[in-house]
Amino acid sequence: MSEYSARDVEAVSVGLVRKHFYLFAENPEEALVLESGVKIGPVTVAYETYGELAPGRDNAVLVLHALSGDCHVAAGYHDQTDTIPGWWENMVGPGKGIDTDRYFVICASILGSCGGTTGPGATNPATGKPYGLDFPVVTVGDMVMTQQRLLTHLGITRLLAVIGGSLGGMQALEWSLRYPDQVAGVVALATTMRHSPLAIAFNEIARQAIMADPNWRQGHYYDGPKPATGLAVARMIGHVTYLSDEALRRKFGRRLQGKDKFSFQFNGDFQVESYLRHQGTKFVARFDANSFLYVTKAADYFDLEHWGGKGSAVEAFAAAQALFLVVSFTSDWLYPTYQSRELIRALKKNGRDVSFCELKADCGHDAFLLPNRRLSRLIANFLERIQRESQI
């Protein structure tokens, strides 16, 4: 269960925030060269910032979002009618674990997603229509290269820390290898160095659900009905992997939804069925089916065991220079603790300074997103340590 009190979760807003857009690679010679060898441009990066950049530009923290997130990370609002909080409002803000009174926090929507950064739903300059499947397959490394272009634009040459959970944690680890001299600290939460066959299998089932929807039309559905059913099923599949047996038993058990006996039909008798259908419907309203395909494939391709042509994660992390904080959760069966321990061994064999904590939580993989006083303290203390010890 969460260790937070009611007082801790009071909304302390970062105030009025604005989504910014950075456009680069407008000229062919400036194109972003992806790991596949394909060149892409122009590229738009959507991002938000919170707090103030210090005169020495030494207090920047890059927060990296997971699969279904975007750049709206904190509890600010875009206008007076906006009531939707950021996806990590319990962690980012004044006086919180990532304190916006002390740090300049940046979060950018990832390449290939649908949060404002260029992805399959963006306009293909060659056709004037949405890319669809003409968009090149991207990797976690491509996402990080895009973020690095943004930071160069912002005049930030070194980050105090990169912080992310799940797919965001993969990006954080990628940062430590791709740009080792630009990162002082890495916080990797509920993440892995490479997907297990189980994780790849769930992603493939979800992708097949989308592609089996007759409205998908080989990815070129933007002028007609969305593949809503396929995307909703994909979300339902993914959502189950983010939870745990205990969380589902506690929240739903075998209770029926709005009835006291079975219907003997297929309309959804159980509360857990109704919950998953609701989650699928909500997701369709805010996410793009093609982006789901691209982002899950990027996660499946991620593999630090063979990063940069190396033969092992130990070899890959030889170049890392940052301090590391790695956190896993006891009930996370998507990226279980043994995978975090493999990461720690690779770091320690390179003499890296790494702190590790396995937090007790019964809510599954999503635990890193939920209010937790101990996690907040861990991150706050780690950032303070980096400020004391790093030479940015």
pLDDT digits 0-9 by tens, 243-286: 999 999 999 999 999 899 999 999 899 999 999 999 999 999 99
- Backbone phi, then psi, for 49, in 5-degree steps? -130, 150
From the list 113, 332, 366, 376, the catalytic residue is 332
Q: Return the percentage of the chain with pLDDT > 90, whole number.
A: 87
Spans of all domains in the chain = 20-194+304-389, 211-291
Query: Is 365 marked active-site?
Result: yes
- pLDDT, residue 309, reads 83
Q: Say yes or no to pLDDT of 219 above 60.
A: yes
Helix (H, G, I), strand (E, B) or coil at 266: coil
From the list 99, 213, 365, 366, the catalytic residue is 365
Identify the residue with better confidence: 214 or 82: 214
Average pLDDT over residues 224-230: 98
pTM for the model stands at: 0.94
Query: Is 332 marked active-site?
Result: yes
Segment 362-380, tens digit of pLDDT? 999 999 999 999 999 999 9
Rounded to the nearest 10 degrees, the angle between the axes of helix 140-154 and helix 167-178 is 70
- pLDDT, residue 80, reads 66
Helix (H, G, I), strand (E, B) or coil at 16: strand
Q: Which of 121, 167, 114, 120 is nearest to 144 (CA)?
A: 167
Q: Return the percentage of the chain with pLDDT > 70, whole number.
A: 94
Homologous superfamily in CATH for domain 20-194+304-389: Alpha/Beta hydrolase fold, catalytic domain (3.40.50.1820)
Average pLDDT over residues 148-172: 98
- pLDDT, residue 391, reads 63
CATH of domain 211-291: 1.10.1740.110
Q: Say yes or no to pLDDT of 200 above 80.
A: yes
From the list 166, 328, 331, 340, the catalytic residue is 166
CA atoms of 118 and 120, how far apart (whole Å) = 7
